[in-house]
Structure 1
């Protein structure tokens, strides 16, 4: 069985770094990029009854953003002679990513993340932490620096991973 790798992506540099990492792995891999739109629907939510049009507009905007991100990611993968599968889901990101992996025989999840302080992780949580708690498959995190000062002085734009438009996260 070939490795089946899931890369959650929303177009920000850490998710692109994760995709870049997977594209440069040796061997045969089936790669799926997944964008999770954080639209959580609850039957008892006042938003469901008062502003359903706003929720549908948010869902449509999320789909359009995902399509732009997927288009650029697919072009980027083509430069590496790789064909990507794409998927869109909505809900709580950590739950949906883990559920997608379980339902689709994914053998590994690779997710990009930015450096966070311990206080920030405690207060806001971390998507990779949430995925690792829920996932039944190994999770690899690709960490990128949070500021430009972390770059080497001789880095050029050509050395950096492709940056796509920011998605909804």
Structure 2
């Protein structure tokens, strides 16, 4: 199910009716979600994405939230999954959320998550070296940048 958020039509919520209602209730408590396009550009998108990411994490929202068609990724869930996979050294227990994060932002899509895991030989270090260590993202994609900063900072500190 999909629903546009009433206070800002560029925010879309995906999930079942309960998940969407819970997400809307949380969003209704937040200030600064309104935004106007200037041409094809949303001037406060970076701030908006971080505010939504914080709300997703704080309230453990189950609904997916998109801004102008782009998913806002949960920081806590992605980092926990990253740490689990790094510790195991294997990709076989990769969550769907982490797979979506990787292949929609940094890497080519495969037929499915299992094809992706096979492509990297189920080896986390290979994926880290080939994708995450070199990953970049546009400046407006602040939620993804926050996650990458954490991942790449840990890698840099380890190498030093």
| TM-score between the two structures when normalised by the length of structure 1 | 0.28
Q: Looking at both structures, which has the greater relative contact order when contacts are Cα pairs under 8 Å and sequence separation is at least 6?
A: 1
Structure ranking higher in helix proportion? 2
Structure ranking higher in strand proportion? 1
